[in-house]
Structure 1
Amino acid sequence: MLLDTPVCDFGWKGPDFTLMDARGKSFTMSERLSDKGLLVAFICNHCPYVQAIGQRFAEDTDALMSQGINVLAVMSNDYRMVPGDGPEFMLKFAAKFGWSFPYLVDEDQSVGKAYGAVCTPDFFGFNKDGELQYRGRLDDAGMGDPNNRNHELVSAMIEIARTGKGPQQQMPSMGCSIKWR
């Protein structure tokens, strides 16, 4: 089912969480929040929207991390319903695109629910105080031609790092619904 993300709830405080990656290493949201901010992205392996942006997402997150903005990706799908989203496939999927950020398993789906994540991809851009400032799309290319794309997420996160505030105009992200138990 195709869904759009809701409008950004500016200032909303993202609940802290600790999740493990597919190798069993744990990461805590509050410990990853830098003085430049944090991007939390809800993604999965099987979604054609995530697959379509995989390489662009790698490039954009590398650009963000080079600016001191940390990134965490969370997989909240019920991978018993969609086995291709399971931890053993997450490692291969991340390697395929060269992702250099932690890709975490939300085993009980509590983080996805606490954040109100609705689709993959669903991007949450926080300022240094953990306040939501961006809930939009990666770029304007969607599943189409990535040439000459507008790097909306990167621009928003750099603005957040610089000013603490995100852009008032944000286009919703679009993707497959999260597969809840």
Structure 2
Amino acid sequence: MIDRRLTLGLLAAAAAASPALAAPTIGQPAPGFSAVDADGRTRSLSEFRGKTVVLEWTNNGCPYVQKHYNSGSMQSLQTTAAKDGVAWLTIVSSAPGMQGHLTGAEAKAWKAREKAASTAVLLDPTGAVGRAYDAKTTPHMYIIDKTGKLVYMGGIDDRASASPESLKGATNYVSAALADVKAGRPVAQAATRPYGCSVKYGSAG
């Protein structure tokens, strides 16, 4: 009995020492992270402090992602955000061997081919950044304000379809949230349901 109690105590201590990641929460500081970009540079969220930041989870093999890139709507949104001084980080959390996984060279080629206007493409092959944000789909979108607080998370728009036709008349939640942030207003719809392909984490995910 003593040994069993000791074992349970050790397990409890271990759990306390390495708690599970807390889910990201609107109005709370966004989880910090660092990741290597397509150019091989280590980038961190902290380097963008003082700027509005958009996080976009992507997978170039996902038809939902392709809808937004093939139509040019994602690039248009990125370009508009960049003009307002927003840092846009596109994140690839697909594990090696999984759909959408990209090496640095492949990520650079993909960005050039798509004429993407994101600030950087970040590679997250272990899924550490994706899990910290509880990213579930591609695309899955997050907005962090200039103080480092999470002010939006969810879908890119209100049309959960891979059809390009669904873009007509869609309400773009990210565009609306960025407009609220720019105007100094609280984000009207701070959390929505994301849609798309599941993030292709490795076996640990």
- Confirm or deny that 1:73 pairs with 2:73: no
Deviations 1:129-155 (A, max 9, x none): 111111132234543323444332112
Partner of 1:46: 61
3-state SS of 1:77 partner: coil
Mapping for residues 7-156 of structure 1, pairs under 5 Å: 9-35=25-51, 37-54=52-69, 55-82=72-99, 84-87=100-103, 88-101=105-118, 102-141=120-159, 142-143=161-162, 144-145=164-165, 146-156=167-177
Which is higher, the Rg of structure 1 or of structure 2? 2
Q: CA deviation at 1:9?
A: 3.2
Report if the CA contact (8 A) 1:140-1:152 is conserved. Answer: yes
Report if the CA contact (8 A) 2:82-2:117 is conserved. Answer: no
Q: Which consecutive residues of structure 1, in runs of 5 or more, have no partner in the other structure? A: 1-7
Determine what percentage of the aligned residue pairs are the same residue. 24
TM-score, normalised with respect to structure 2: 0.75
Partner of 2:201: 180
3-state SS of 2:196 partner: strand
CA distance in 2, matches of 1:174, 1:96: 24
TM-score, normalised with respect to structure 1: 0.84
Match of 1:43, as an amino acid? T
Report if the CA contact (8 A) 2:26-2:190 is conserved. Answer: no
Q: Which consecutive residues of structure 2, in runs of 5 or more, have no partner in the other structure? A: 1-23
Structure-2 change in CA distance of 1:110 and 1:132 (3 Å): same
Structure-2 change in CA distance of 1:50 and 1:159 (3 Å): same
CA distance in 2, matches of 1:86, 1:79: 8
